[in-house]
Chains A and B, each alone.
Chain A
Amino acid sequence: GAVVSQHPSRVICKSGTSVKIECRSLDFQATTMFWYRQFPKQSLMLMATSNEGSKATYEQGVEKDKFLINHASLTLSTLTVTSAHPEDSSFYICSAGTGSSYNSPLHFGNGTRLTVT
């Protein structure tokens, strides 16, 4: 089945540094990928929609200059958390669709646990 790979699975960084998270579709091309964030005991919240070759679309309340998204190819999207602060500590999850039909399911990566100290 379709596989979405995220890297790294866990990262610890110091406050003020930047962290890059990669999301790859391993066996299919994804023109659109989605980035979600999940705080403890809460549901997934959509942060942004990543479009190959164009600017990402951010959800209300998500700072585009803080969460930089690059979707440079049909199999790779990256999320960079810039100048990270402890409140950015969260579980970040990407997803991608396998095709262009309306009812194709989205598949998710296994997430990246970010801890900012």
Chain B
Amino acid sequence: DAKTTQPPSMDCAEGRAANLPCNHSTISGNEYVYWYRQIHSQGPQYIIHGLKNNETNEMASLIITEDRKSSTLILPHATLRDTAVYYCIVRVEAYSGAGSYQLTFGKGTKLSVIP
């Protein structure tokens, strides 16, 4: 499994962009980068994923470097409700081989949005 490295914590001022980095230097060519977040006492919430190209959706943008060894999740205008632990995960196949897959969670980055 490709491993990811994230800073343990970050602060961001409300209304500013939050840029969360992730290193995944051992990622292989067909592995996607996924981002999830977990608000306290809830299940993880899917944010975004990508392979090579930068991606954007209604929640965030994902910037992947050309060599794919690192990526950055961008929350363009952070709000207090974005305070959560953010997980960067590289996907692996599950045992079933049926197209579903497991996600291996690291420790993530605890983002605190400050008023």
Contacts and interface: CB of A to CB of B under 8 A. Distances in A.
A34 B96 contact: no
Given A43-B106, A107-B46, A99 B101 contact: no
22 contacts: A4-B43, A6-B43, A32-B94, A32-B96, A34-B94, A43-B87, A43-B105, A43-B108, A44-B38, A46-B103, A49-B96, A57-B96, A93-B44, A95-B44, A97-B100, A102-B99, A102-B101, A103-B32, A105-B49, A110-B42, A111-B41, A111-B42
Interface size class of B (residues with CB under 8 A): 20 to 34
Contacts of B51: 103
Interface size class of A (residues with CB under 8 A): 20 to 34
Contacts of A91: 41
Given A32-B96, A49-B95, A93 B43 contact: yes
Contacts of A108: 36, 43-46
